[in-house]
Copies of this chain bind each other. A is one copy, B any other.
């Protein structure tokens, strides 16, 4: 019987992202999908700013952008006017300036093109998607303790079947999930209202001036959402029926012509006609969330299997990406011996909370969409990116951060340090107490100069999604931190430190050209000096342990508009002392784990060892370093 590290069911965004990560990290994967080919047109299409960061970190952004997607920077609101037509009552930024985003826009591209980018990457790394196959059964029977899950797979035409064993099974099947049904996991419907939506992608002719903007349009004839697309296309979302209708029928449908006629009525006095329709679909959708994402930490679920909601906020695919990355690195760390199995419990606790927030937001947004819209006066502030603090704008602000993806905030747990974390040490820093970084949230972007080649780079992107913890030694003023840096490296070199315990044992292997993981795949080390680049000498200023990461030494010498008076903008943005620096540990998926003060002596490494002891389940750093 064939054995795999993981069997993945479904090659939509969640399954493909998981597969891409694990394939790159060397796992043996059986990945099936019940469709004969990737999504040909339509379906999900919105990549939020934060997801674009992730795709870049996976080196996939350039391939996405090669398709020339549409970019949404602003949203326009149209309301009925007094003449029976519509008028624009305001616009606002899709990702306002108060969010420090590299890419303050939503990227629109049809799901099939996005899927193909992942599939190409999987194939480049030796994997493949087996189509059209589906799952017919599974059990975690533990008969093989190393491969406890048995999975039965069949060709969709029933002519072929196979039974394999795996360490893990992942369902990314979408809203209708065989695995979820078999597990008996219930879907909770948070908002009892369900809707029937019509969605149409096509090329139009119109004198409606905002046809290339994202718009919500309310008219006396109904409501519509307009979203620009690649290839000069426009997507229209029209609500066809709602469970609040007196005669609601979830199977209610409408022809493309009916939807077009409806759109023409809504857009009056503007005109619209279609040159072609690329995709048209009608589907009922309700809000739902799975009560569990896993029962045994062997069979996992993610994406639409676990959460369904309206398409209007463009969150589905983005949530799927993040579900997958969250699970991928945790599985990798368990299988690499970096963490005990208990880390896997954080997949459900972290990602289910995000889905709950999404559904709360979606319910609020749906209500907003189907009831009143803000007046021009209310949104005037927002359109200038200086939102006034009325109730509506407050809601909007919170929503922008959420919809851009920058609002994801994982609660304190064993990975995200807090005052309640089992690892306690006086040198831990916390939000507004020594740092601007918040654990469980994104690592603030900053621009620095790479020392070896003087390239101006985005620090938060310098370590790729390689499954390693990201260790940022903000080394402050090198003249002042010389001893602290030396001491940190000395104690990290001790045989029982978080660094040494997970270092490669086969040190005779030639890793000269390895940039990110020359000594361990547990962590990638970077150093950032508050110094002009030309004055940084890697060999002169860093102990060997850090100097070996020569491609990850940076000068914090690039001016930043957000901290115009800082000498060392990256230090300043992190809220770290520009002279004294600090150490930031970022999780493999890019969220902050902990922040530690940099100090002479053993304290800094003590705090780090305590933190990693909790995650890795190993007693780290308890030996005295041989000095």
Contacts and interface: CB of A to CB of B under 8 A. Distances in A.
- Taken together, the copies of this chain in the complex come to 2
A71 B453 contact: yes
A79 to B, nearest CB: 15
Contacts of A455: 71, 73, 105
A228 B383 contact: no
Interface string A217-234: 000000000001000100
A407 to B, nearest CB: 22
Contacts of A452: 209-213
A65 B62 CA distance: 9
B537 A454 contact: no
B228 A453 contact: yes
Interface in A21-63: 62-63
Interface string A367-390: 000000000000000011000000
A277 interface: no
Nearest to A210: B452
Contacts of A454: 72-74, 91, 213
A203 B534 contact: no
Contact of A209 (B71, B91, B384, B538): B538
A513 interface: yes
B534 A91 contact: yes
Contacts of A384: 532
A465 interface: no
Interface residues of A, number: 39
Nearest to A75: B454
A251 interface: no
A625 interface: no
A627 interface: no
Contact of A62 (B62, B72, B449): B62
A539 B62 contact: no
A507 interface: no
Contact of A512 (B72, B205, B512): B205
Given A62-B62, A66-B62, A512-B205, A453 B539 contact: no
A319 to B, nearest CB: 25
Interface string A64-100: 0110001111100000000000000001000000000
Interface string A499-515: 00000000000001100
A456 B228 CA distance: 16
A558 B63 CA distance: 28
A384 B454 CA distance: 13
Contacts of A74: 454, 533-534
A561 interface: yes
Interface string A511-555: 011000000000000000000111001110000000000000000
A244 to B, nearest CB: 33
Nearest to A559: B561
Given A91-B454, A561-B561, 16 more contacts: A62-B66, A63-B66, A66-B66, A70-B453, A71-B455, A72-B454, A73-B449, A73-B455, A74-B534, A105-B455, A207-B539, A209-B538, A212-B453, A232-B513, A275-B513, A383-B534
13 contacts: A62-B62, A62-B65, A70-B453, A71-B453, A73-B453, A91-B534, A209-B452, A209-B537, A209-B538, A209-B539, A213-B454, A228-B453, A384-B532
Question: Closest 9 interchain pairs by CB?
Answer: A74-B454, A212-B453, A73-B454, A212-B452, A91-B534, A383-B534, A71-B455, A73-B455, A205-B512
